[in-house]
Amino acid sequence: MKFESNDFTKIRYSALMAATMILIGSLTVHYAIDTRRQAQRTQANNDKLLAEADARLKQVSNEESEVKQKIMIFNQLQERGVVGEEQRLEWIELLKDIRVRRRLLDLEYEIAPQRLFEANTANEYSFFASTMRLQVKLLHEEDLERLLSDLRSQAKALIMVKNCTVSRLPAVSDEHANLLAVCEIDWITLRNTKK
């Protein structure tokens, strides 16, 4: 089969159509590949945005949980009387009550002026402390443990024992006390400093 020049006129439209179809097909393939790459970039961007939104949601959830926990602690402190002005008179009454209830032989105390314990410049509230020097005569060490336990559970302040020294008393003591305990205790309260 030979191809002659007059045959070209017969297939000219078909060849032109074939060339056009090849061009359209290659443009379609190129467009499809480009569209696929664009879709992949969009998907990757959407995945990144979703991950960022999920991270922000988790952070907000954690912050919400932290705020709820802090509110709960603040409410507990408020119920216990730790929030607000010092209540030294109630502290003294508590010491007298513990002395009678625990049958302590001798209990003396001295309270220093209140001082800023921990400044919190970011919030309205700051911790204040008053240091008490407590001297008590004891029959045995357990009396001191009970006294401190009573203070921690009943005082309208947070009780932080800074130090305690226990020494043996001379055997000639007329009160039958065996030990002398001297303690330094911080009575800590939380107060609004922005008022």
CATH number at residue 105: 3.30.70.60
The band of 182, judged by pLDDT with boundaries at 50, 70 and 90, is very high
Residues 34, 193: Cα–Cα separation, whole Å:
64
Q: Are 133 and 161 in contact (CB under 8 A)?
A: no
Question: Do 171 and 97 fall into the same domain?
Answer: yes
Question: Do 159 and 184 fall into the same domain?
Answer: yes
What is the count of structural domains for the chain? 2
Residues 158, 148: Cα–Cα separation, whole Å:
12
Parent domain of 152: 88-192
Token pair for residue 40?
């992949």
Residue showing tokens 């020097």: 133
Question: Do 98 and 188 fall into the same domain?
Answer: yes
Question: Do 136 and 167 fall into the same domain?
Answer: yes
Residue 120 has pLDDT above 70, yes or no: no
pLDDT per position as a tens digit, 28-61: 999 999 999 999 999 999 999 999 999 999 999 9
pLDDT per position as a tens digit, 64-118: 999 999 889 888 888 888 888 888 999 999 999 999 999 888 899 999 999 987 7
Please tell me the pTM assigned to this model.
Answer: 0.65
Instruction: Please list, in sequence order, all residues whose beta carbon lies within 8 angstroms of the beta carbon of residue 141, skipping any fewer than 6 positions away.
Output: 166, 179
Residue showing tokens 């056009």: 20
Residues 62, 187: Cα–Cα separation, whole Å:
32
